[in-house]
Amino acid sequence: MKEGSLHFSHDQIRDIVAQKAWYGLDPQTGAFDWQASLNKLANQFSLSADTLGPLITDCFTSDCLSRVKLEKNDQQTTVPLIQAISDLNIPFIVWTVGDCNWQKTKIQRTQTDQYIKKEDGYVCASANKLEMLKTVLTKISQNMPSENKIKVIVVDDKAEILTKLMEEVAPVFSRQNIAIGNYHMKLNDPQADANAFYRWLQDQLQDNPSLYLVLDFDGVIADTNSVLFGPVVEKIFAALNSNKV
């Protein structure tokens, strides 16, 4: 069969991508495996992974960064959330889970890396995200003067992660002079999207001058689903149709 010879509509492609049944796992660790996932998705469309991989990678740009609206010189401007946070001079760590090589590619492609000022300002867990968070919080605690109290706000789009954080992790670190808060980001909900979070964060900053943020990448810093369901769908549709006889 010729590569890309199957016919799919935009809606069919979007449904296949959205269902995420093509996600592949490392057989030894159970962690998300980008190459295995790419192979499964490419097979769905009768494309080679070598064809599909660059199409998807090219879709990840700084355009997918979540954004906030700011007032500047009596004019409204829109900037990436990560830039707005950087401008507030709040220290942060970017915290993510998945195939760490693929996550690093997305960090670089979206130019998130230009806002990460410290060498240890980015951490990736291949599978157990909460365990990695414990390591991050321990490091923050160790680097903090013992007489200071700091508030660490963890921002994630997964409610179950934040629930476990507050139930299992927060009580432990409260005894180490760290108060832990959280924010459940929902990029498609005006009551909990990047703009809502930024307004909330400014209020937090007034009450807690010693703030530290732990920011999830997918679904917080970047709207990666919008890439998969938008530009990626278009690229796949174009690739399939360009291969028609």
178 shares its domain with 229? no
The predicted structure's pLDDT at residue 43: 93
Task: Supply the pTM of this predicted model.
Answer: 0.92
CA distance 65 to 70: 15
177 shares its domain with 92? yes
**CA atoms 219, 194, 207, 148: torsion sign:** positive
- Site of tokens 């530009």: 231
56 shares its domain with 75? no
Asked if 87 and 105 count as a contact pair (C-beta separation under 8 A), the reply is: no
pLDDT by 10s per residue, the chain, length 245 = 567 666 899 999 999 999 889 999 888 888 899 999 999 999 999 999 999 999 999 999 999 999 999 987 778 899 999 999 999 999 999 999 999 999 999 999 999 999 998 777 999 998 888 899 998 888 887 776 656 678 999 999 999 999 999 999 999 888 777 899 999 999 999 999 999 999 999 999 888 778 999 999 999 999 999 999 999 999 999 999 885 53
The predicted structure's pLDDT at residue 245: 38
78 shares its domain with 25? no
101 shares its domain with 209? yes
32 shares its domain with 137? no
Task: Read off the amino acid at residue 50.
Answer: D
Q: Which domain holds residue 19?
A: 10-61+225-242
91 shares its domain with 153? yes
Chain centroid to CA 13: 23
The predicted structure's pLDDT at residue 147: 63
The predicted structure's pLDDT at residue 235: 95
17 shares its domain with 94? no
Structure-block tokens of residue 22: 């093509």
Number of domain units in the chain: 2
The predicted structure's pLDDT at residue 145: 62
Q: Does residue 2 lie within any of the structural domains? A: no
Where do the DSSP E strands lie in the chain? 24-25, 32-33, 67-72, 75-80, 92-97, 122-125, 150-156, 178-184, 211-216
100 shares its domain with 201? yes
211 shares its domain with 234? no
Q: Does residue 3 lie within any of the structural domains? A: no
The predicted structure's pLDDT at residue 175: 77
CA distance 28 to 51: 27
Structure-block tokens of residue 10: 């935009």
